[in-house]
Amino acid sequence: MTRITSAAPRVYVPKETPLPRSGYRPLLPVAAATGALVLLVSGCDYLSGGGGGTADTSDIDCSPYEQWEDTGGTVSVYASIRDEEGERLEESWADFAACAGITVQYEGSGEFEAQLPIRLDGGNAPDLAFIPQPGLLERSVEDGHAVPVADGVRENVEAGWSEDWQGYATVEDELYGSPLGANMKSMVWYSPAYFDENGHEVPETWDDMIELSKDIAAEGTKPWCAGFESGDGTGWPGTDWIENTLLRTSGTDVYHDWISNDVAFDSPEVVEAFDLAEGVLRNEDFVNGPFGGVDSIAVTSFQEAGLPLLDGGCAMYLMGSFYAAQFEEDVNIGEDGDVYGFVLPAMEADGEVPIMGGGEFTVAYDDRPEVTAMHEYLSSVEFADKRASLGSWVSAHQDLDQSQLPDPTDQFTAEVLSDPDTVFHFDASDTMPSSIGTDVFWTAMIDWVTGSDTEDVLETVESAW
């Protein structure tokens, strides 16, 4: 069984940040879900604003950015990434912007997925966008808005990422984006202290995990917490459950055929995946920690859902590696810490353990020199190393300097994602057409977890294709 085995625990600072639908989805309080953050950046003036080309570079080593020196101009960037994570993004490109003389206008929005198509159709496209759904990327291409990557970006992508990652940003054999961040979503968070105190072991198979859940329930604790509420994105945590169970019951080929609808939503394979998830999520003995019963899952925010791990309110929580950002600074995350994680088990002990996750892609809507320069930097290993060193972020870049990653979860995630032997499965709902994967499917998960019949729910989604 794959398990996180990184070194010492680290204290995490809570972040009100995005994670993607495919990758880092917004880790924001619900009240802030519709807010937007607009930041103007020019090099190291990123915290106070500044004009393009006027930043003082006397204290900056500009040699890594020599090829972009004196590019000048202004580049607008649009994404869902806000607050502390937005500031870390800006810090990661501040020196580049100063040395290149580029003013970066960054806007992070809680309504990114809904607003990007509106802006594109209305002639108000950003120069660059960080898109967490390949389905939305493909829509940008099909609608004639995205431009193919420049040669320098293509060279960076081909040198730094696996063919799988390149494929997620390729439409009709043309590359339209470069991978940015990445995450692993086949992770079960748990409390090592609770496990140790009660003599529990990390399960090696799915059946082991169910038996463990029964044992914990017999002790008087709800073994699982879950929360599907996420503002405009409500329902997406449920899709992660189905994607993970389908990979475990039917394998890679069926999973990818399901994304393209060659395997129908109401097929026996998908019904089986829902039935497997039902054994946890619609089992009143297993959920939902201190929040209530099965019905509470639909109205419990995913940000709050895993916090009862800290006080024994529940024992396990399926959520991506990015969830570390939700714990306060006095929480130790590590194998002997307050919380940690293990990979969701396969069906058999000696079977392949599927890895599912997500990430963002940088997509250009203009080919001005300054836009190309910014895109080239964002697709470089230098950017990946810089952003990763600031914490709570991982790239699947094969040359990422993993030794500088400050967090045990980041270290483990990067190791898994960059391993040439890892077959990474991108979040299916983010890869499907957006009208299905990030709309009807999300709604269907709420209907299902509040009691609708599985077959009826799946027929509804299938009819929307």
Among 300, 348, 374, CA closest to 126: 374
Q: pTM of the predicted model, to two decimals?
A: 0.81
Q: Which domain holds residue 233?
A: 187-353+433-463
**40 located within any domain:** yes
Do 300 and 222 share a structural domain? yes
Do 400 and 326 share a structural domain? no
Per residue, the 3-state secondary structure of 282-316, as one string, reads: CCCCCECHHHCCHHHHHHCEHHHHCHHHHHCCCCE
Q: Assess contact for 361 and 180: CB atoms under 8 A.
A: yes
Do 152 and 136 share a structural domain? yes
Quote the CA–CA distance of 447 and 454 in Å, as a whole number: 9
Do 32 and 129 share a structural domain? yes
**425 located within any domain:** no
Tens digits of residue pLDDT in 220-271 = 999 999 999 998 889 999 999 999 999 999 999 999 999 999 999 999 999 9
Q: What is the pLDDT along the chain (465 residues), one digit of tens a residue?
A: 433 332 222 222 233 333 434 443 333 333 333 334 444 444 434 333 333 445 678 899 999 999 999 999 999 999 999 888 899 999 999 999 999 999 999 999 988 988 999 999 999 999 999 999 999 999 999 999 999 999 999 999 999 998 989 999 999 999 999 999 999 999 999 999 999 999 999 999 999 999 999 999 999 999 999 999 998 889 999 999 999 999 999 999 999 999 999 999 999 999 999 999 999 999 999 999 999 999 999 999 999 999 999 999 999 999 999 898 889 889 999 889 999 999 999 999 887 888 999 999 999 999 999 999 999 999 999 999 999 999 889 999 999 999 999 888 888 888 878 776 677 899 999 999 989 999 999 999 999 999 999 999 999 999 999
Find where tokens 């995990």 sit: 209
Do 177 and 253 share a structural domain? no
Do 164 and 91 share a structural domain? yes
**153 located within any domain:** yes
Do 371 and 317 share a structural domain? no
Cβ-count burial 361-383 (b if 16+ within 10 Å, e if not) = bbbbbeeeebbbbbbbbbbbbeb
**3 located within any domain:** no
Quote the CA–CA distance of 274 and 267 in Å, as a whole number: 11
Do 373 and 274 share a structural domain? no
Count of C-beta atoms within a 10 Å radius of residue 200: 18
**21 located within any domain:** yes
Do 58 and 97 share a structural domain? yes
Contacts 24+ apart (CB under 8 A), 65-70: 65/95, 65/96, 65/99, 65/100, 65/377, 66/99, 68/96, 68/99, 68/100, 68/102, 68/373, 68/376, 68/377, 69/99, 69/100, 69/101, 70/100, 70/101
Do 324 and 206 share a structural domain? yes
For the chain, the straight-line distance linking the first and the last C-alpha, in angstroms and rounded, comes to 37
**150 located within any domain:** yes
Tens digits of residue pLDDT in 392-426 = 899 999 999 999 998 888 888 888 787 766 778 99
Do 381 and 248 share a structural domain? no
Do 306 and 214 share a structural domain? yes
CATH of the domain at 15: 3.40.190.10
Count of C-beta atoms within a 10 Å radius of residue 419: 14
Among 82, 174, 75, 79, CA closest to 131: 79
**426 located within any domain:** no
Q: Assess contact for 208 and 218: CB atoms under 8 A.
A: no
**152 located within any domain:** yes
* Overall number of domains in the chain: 2
Quote the CA–CA distance of 103 and 84 in Å, as a whole number: 20
